[in-house]
Amino acid sequence: MAVEFPASVWRESLGQPLMSRPSLAGDLQVDVAIIGAGYTGLWTAYYLKQKSPSLKVAVLEADSAGYGASGRNGGWLMGSFVGDSHYLAGYQGEAFQQIKQAIQSPITEIEQFLIRHDVDCDFIHSGNYQVAARYPEQLDSLTSTLATLYQQGFDESDYQWLQGSALDDAIKLRRGQAAIFTPHCATIHPLKLVRGLAKVVENLGVTLYEQTRVSAFGKGIVQTAQGQVKADIIVPALEGYQGQVSQLGRYTLPVQSLLIATAPLSDRQWQHIGLESRATYSDAARQVTYGQRSKDNRMIFGARGGYRFGGQVQTEFNLQSPDFAWRAKLMHDLFPSLKTVPITHGWGGTLAMARKFAPHAIFDKRNGIALAGGYGGEGVGAANLFGRTLSDLILERDTPLSRMPWAHLSEIKQVLTPWEPEPFRWLTYQLINKVFSWEERLCLQSNPSRLQKRIAIQLAQRLDSLMH
Ligand SMILES: Cc1cc2nc3c(=O)[nH]c(=O)nc-3n(C[C@H](O)[C@H](O)[C@H](O)COP(=O)(O)OP(=O)(O)OC[C@H]3O[C@@H](n4cnc5c(N)ncnc54)[C@H](O)[C@@H]3O)c2cc1C
């Protein structure tokens, strides 16, 4: 049966029809039941079967593998993640290096996986540019970002300063002043990765049930309309959808992120932009703006997020909506030569922020729940690392990963902090958004009130530091 999948450039360029796997048909008993066939659920299944082939593992997916953020994202496969500095803090020497290597490991780990299992996801290991371009204050902020990274223990092999012709050769943003380049990022086609991963996991003996929505789960039991699944361990790999299924949603804030894609550009058009290596890039602003040059030569561009009251998830998006026009304006400001290029696709998805602004991997053995997530907008690589960590925790293996500071053998409530209830969640999100937009508006003005600008920057810095 063909699957209804959200329209996106990834869906269109997948190059194969999306066929649904069978749904659950009756009751089932397994060792591990995983809810959600995104990167987290599938990497957890993959490593569990690699390490313990006899384990009986089932994945229950409401729609089809990759329907969530994993099939919709911007395709940055990063060797870093939101809040990684939180886990590196206080470590030095060998211990620091071990944690750093683990954080950076998803790129080579996934590259080796792709080679071993012959999965093509347009992978290219070209790094990332974080560029100060739109207003002078971005240069100060970029300078202090690099200083902080070096203070933390990173060096020039991790993050380099780029200016002048070196920057211009790499990427030409209007008014580009300087950039931080890191090699720790690869560019991928996210839907190809998640669909390829699903097939590999299936070949290892994991059963994937699609069109099988979980309505609830409790200790040892998962409820669906098609039957009950009994399992020793349940892995709710639901990220932005967590609140729709269980109380665990109080630990994550679901946030929408939106992307646009242009029609493929000619080589001549790309000469005005650069990105010959297909590296990813972002604008050094507090409100994230990010992009990549796809393998079929489109500009894929995303910016900002939005939180809907009550943590509602959004799955359908309309290219004609002002949300996309606003992103196009931002893209055209950075790359004026794109103004004449049609925007062919606009889509979005839901990611999740943890209250401590850092992801986690927890095995709550007493309640039979294993949980990983809270990646914010940086989960493509992190889901591999946290799925790998979770598999060691579930199998109760004492490994370097199970000893990482994000790995917990503990009750969930002892590790995670819940978000404030509504309306405080919504109000806090609005406040942060408003302050960040205010700061940016003043920084973009040619002659703003100096007092207002100083207050806005200090307030934004204060809020930003609370989130890191
Ligand atoms: C627009 C966008 C751009 C992003 N860009 C990047 C990027 O460039 N780089 C990066 O590192 N990160 C990025 N992210 C974040 C990254 O995509 C996510 O962190 C990552 O995909 C999370 O994977 P996951 O498996 O935990 O969750 P998901 O991929 O969301 O998987 C959850 C799955 O659960 C299923 N499900 C939901 N409800 C039920 C139910 N009741 N029963 C059964 N199944 C259910 C869903 O259908 C879904 O398949 C982006 C996210 C978005 C939305």
Ligand 1 centroid – CA 317 distance (Å): 16
Tokens of 47: 């490593």
| Domain locations in the chain as residue ranges | 9-73+190-249+356-415, 424-466
pLDDT at residue 67, as a whole number: 96
Q: Torsion over CA of 242, 248, 252 and 255, rounded to 10 degrees?
A: 20
- Residue 437: its pLDDT value, please? 87
For every one of its 468 residues, what pLDDT tens digit does the chain have, with 9 covering 90 and above? 777 787 899 999 998 888 899 999 999 999 999 999 999 999 999 999 999 999 999 999 999 999 999 999 999 999 999 999 999 999 999 999 999 999 999 999 999 999 999 999 999 999 999 998 788 888 998 999 999 999 999 999 999 999 999 999 999 999 899 999 999 999 999 999 999 999 999 999 999 999 999 999 999 999 999 999 999 999 999 999 999 999 999 999 999 999 999 999 999 999 999 999 999 999 988 878 999 999 999 999 998 778 999 999 988 898 888 889 989 999 999 999 999 999 999 999 999 999 999 999 999 999 999 999 999 999 999 999 999 999 999 999 999 999 999 999 999 999 999 999 999 999 988 888 888 888 888 888 888 888 888 888 888 888 887 776
State in Å: Cα 240 to ligand 1 middle.
7
Instruction: Report d(CA 198, CA 46) in Å as an integer.
Output: 9
DSSP 287: S
The CATH class of the 9-73+190-249+356-415 domain is: alpha beta
- Cβ neighbours of residue 54 under 8 Å, at least 6 residues apart? none
**Ligand 1: which atom is nearest the Cα of residue 237?**
26
305 lines ligand 1 (CB under 6 A): no
Q: Whose CA is nearest to atom 19 of ligand 1?
A: 379
Res 442: pLDDT: 87
Q: Is the CB of 237 under 6 A from ligand 1?
A: yes
The whole-number pLDDT of residue 468 equals 63
Instruction: Give the CA angle between residues 186, 49, 42 to the nearest 5°.
Output: 45
What distance in angstroms lies between residue 332's CA and the mean position of ligand 1's atoms? 28
* Residue 63, phi then psi, degrees to nearest 5: -115, -105
Which residues have C-beta within 8 Å of that of residue 159, sequence separation ≥ 6?
A: 146, 149, 150, 180, 181, 182
Ligand 1: does its nearest atom lie under 6 Å from the Cβ of 37? yes
Distance 38 CA to ligand 1 centre (A): 6
**Calpha distance 329→350 (Å, rounded):** 22
**Ligand 1 centroid to 157 CA: how many Å?**
31
Q: Does ligand 1 come within 6 angstroms of the Cβ of 260?
A: no
Structure tokens that stand for 313 in this block: 């998830």
Residue 414 contacts residue 274 (beta carbons within 8 Å): no
Q: How far is CA 156 from CA 149, 162, 283, 355, 451, in A?
A: 10, 11, 20, 31, 37
The Cα 147–Cα 203 span in angstroms is 46
| Cβ pair 326, 51 in contact under 8 A | no
Question: Which residue has a Cα nearest atom 21 of ligand 1?
Answer: 70
223 DSSP β-pair partners: 216, 228
Candidate of 241, 301, 389 to mutate for ligand 1, largest count of ligand atoms within 8 Å of Cβ: 241
Fill in the DSSP letter of residue 52: -
Q: Whose CA is nearest to atom 51 of ligand 1?
A: 73
Amino acid of residue 326: W
